[in-house]
Amino acid sequence: MVAKKTKNHTSKFKISGVEFGGKTLPIFAGPNMVESKKLIFDVAKNVKKIGAHFLRGGAFKPLTFPYRSKKYNETREEGIQWLGEAKRKYKIPVITEVMEEKFLPLICEVADILQIGSRNMQNYPLITACAKTGKPIMLKRHYGSSLRDWLGAAEYILIEGNKKVILCERGVSVPHTHRTTSRFLLDLQVVPAAKEITHLPIVVDPSHATFWRPWVSSMALASIASGADGIMLEVHPDPKNSAVDPLQPIDYSDFKKLILNMNKVAKIVNKKII
Ligand code: PEP
Ligand code: MN
């Protein structure tokens, strides 16, 4: 098993100049979906200024219902181009989701990291195709998967000789005990559990886990305290009008406050953000 920790080591690697597994905790921020050129330019400019290391945003989206956002099916390829233009203009590297192998050449022209979404965590042919491109990969945990299954999927990337693998915890399915709209439960215990057995860095995404804006900041701070190697956040200038999952993104002002607070917690665990 390549993902297995042998000695007491953790993976350290750089992606577009940003170090993973080191002292600085990389922050990924951006909208759920690349809704328009205007939106992605605005977000790239602002999250970069506030302190994000990577711009996130899906052009190809696994939407729970097929009805919404028909117009976005026509802007998927354009969405990748817009991400590329925003990246060059604001000098911020990009992470975006891959859903189908046939779009890999297009996505690879722009993406600094390929995101495998939770729904595709065990789509081994897709994972292998992504791994073979040599691009760094973020593997989001499926909301029903064990740590063993998650690491097994990571192994499909590593076995291709692609060592730049980042795990991402994004909440698991449990009986909905907190509130009816709380879609997932952030499994922070998986951070120390994974660190016991793997050297791979683990990023935590409290936006998808909580599905509820008022809980995102505290869970982001808790994620850093748990030992996370980075944080992924949905940030949108007008969260309530986000085309997808409008309950979960935070706005620029909350993101700014959160970065400062995350930096304080990071110091306690001997890391930093800015
Ligand atoms: C996303 O990050 O946009 C996303 C769809 O996340 P997940 O695969 O974790 O649901
Ligand atoms: Mn999403």
Tens digit of each residue's pLDDT (9 = 90 or more) over 48-103 = 999 999 999 999 999 888 876 667 777 799 999 999 999 999 999 999 999 999 99
CB 43 within 8 A of CB 235: yes
Q: Name the residue of 96, 99, 115, 168 whose CB sits within 8 Å of the most ligand 1 atoms, as the mutation to test its pocket.
A: 115
DSSP strand pairing (27-30 vs 230-234) = parallel
206 CA from centroid of ligand 2 (Å):
11
Phi–psi pair at 81, nearest 5 degrees: -60, -45
The two structure tokens encoding residue 29: 């921020």
Residue with tokens 């990571």: 154
Residues with CB under 6 A from ligand 1: 32, 58, 62, 97, 117-119, 140, 170, 208
Digitized pLDDT (tens) for each residue of the chain, 274 residues in all: 888 888 777 899 999 999 999 999 999 999 999 999 999 999 999 999 999 999 999 999 998 888 766 677 777 999 999 999 999 999 999 999 999 999 999 999 999 999 999 999 999 999 999 999 999 999 999 999 999 999 999 999 999 999 999 999 999 998 766 666 678 999 999 999 999 999 999 999 999 999 999 999 999 999 999 999 999 999 999 999 999 999 999 999 999 999 999 999 999 999 999 8
Kindly report the pTM of this predicted structure.
Answer: 0.96
DSSP for residue 28: E
Per-residue model confidence (pLDDT) at position 68: 67
Q: Give the three-state DSSP class for 164.
A: coil
HEC readout, 63-130: CCCCCCCHHHHHCHHHHHHHHHHHHHHHCCCEEEECCCHHHHHHHHCCCCEEEECHHHCCCHHHHHHH
CB environment 187-210: b (16+ within 10 A), e (fewer): bbebbeebbeebbbbbbbbbbbbb
**Closest protein CA for atom 9 of ligand 1:** 118
Q: Which mutation among 170, 173, 202 tests ligand 1's pocket best, with the greatest number of atoms within 8 A of CB? A: 170
